[in-house]
A and B are shown apart, each in its own frame.
Chain A
Amino acid sequence: MISISGLQKSFGSNRVLAGVDLEVGRGRSMVVIGGSGTGKSVLLKCVLGLVTADAGRILVDGVDATAGDRDAFLARFGMLFQGAALFDSLPVWQNVSFRLLRGALKRPRSEAREIAIEKLRRVGLSPDVADRFPGELSGGMQKRVGLARAIAADPQIIFFDEPTTGLDPIMSGVINDLIREIVTEMGATALTITHDMTSVRAIADEVAMLHGGVVRWSGPVAQMDRSGDPYVDQFIHGRAEGPIAALR
Chain B
Amino acid sequence: MAQSVPLRGLAALGAMALAVLASVGRVTLFALSTFRHMLTPPFYGREFLVALGNVGWLSLPVVGLTAFFTGGALALQIYAGGARFDAQAVVPQIVALGMVRELGPVLVGLMIAARVTSSIAAEIATMKVTEQIDALVTLSTHPMKYLTVPRVLAGIVAVPLLVGLGDIIGIFGGFTVGVKSLGFNPSVYIRNTWDFLEPLDVISSMVKGLAFGFIATLMGCYAGMGSGRGAQGVGRATKSSVERASVLILAANFLLTGVFFSL
Residue numbers of A with Cβ under 8 A of B are 45, 48-50, 70-71, 74-75, 77-79, 81-83, 85-89, 98-99, 102-105, 149
Contact = CB atoms under 8 A, between A and B. Distances in A.
Interface string B119-137: 0000000010011101101
14 contacts: A48-B134, A48-B138, A49-B137, A50-B134, A74-B138, A77-B138, A79-B135, A83-B131, A85-B135, A86-B132, A87-B135, A89-B50, A98-B139, A104-B140
Contact of B132 (A49, A79, A82, A85): A85
Contacts of A49: 137
A78 B139 CA distance: 8
B122 to A, nearest CB: 12
B42 A103 contact: yes
A99 B134 contact: no
Interface residues of B, number: 14
B140 A85 contact: no
B44 interface: yes
B135 A71 contact: no
A70 B139 CA distance: 11
B33 interface: no
Contacts of B50: 89
A86 B130 CA distance: 9
B187 to A, nearest CB: 49
B138 A50 contact: yes
B138 A79 contact: yes
Nearest to B134: A50
Given A79-B135, A149-B139, 5 more contacts: A50-B138, A78-B138, A83-B130, A85-B132, A99-B140
Contacts of B135: 79, 81, 85-87
B132 A87 contact: yes
A217 B54 CA distance: 52
Contact of A50 (B127, B137, B140): B137
B198 to A, nearest CB: 43
A45 B131 CA distance: 11
Residue in A45, A50, A85, A103 with the greatest tally of chain B CB atoms within 10 Å:
A85
Nearest to B132: A85
Interface string B145-177: 000000000000000000000000000000000
Nearest to B50: A89
A75 B127 CA distance: 22
Which 3 pairs between the two chains have the least Cβ-Cβ distance? A85-B135, A85-B131, A71-B140
A233 B130 CA distance: 33
A88 B44 CA distance: 18
Contact of B140 (A45, A74, A87, A89): A74
A194 to B, nearest CB: 16
Contact of B141 (A77, A89, A102): A102
Contacts of A83: 130-131
Contacts of A98: 139, 141
Contact of A81 (B44, B131, B140): B131
Contact of A45 (B42, B127, B134): B134
Contacts of A79: 135, 138
A86 B137 CA distance: 13
A98 B138 CA distance: 11
Contacts of B140: 70-71, 74-75, 99, 103-105
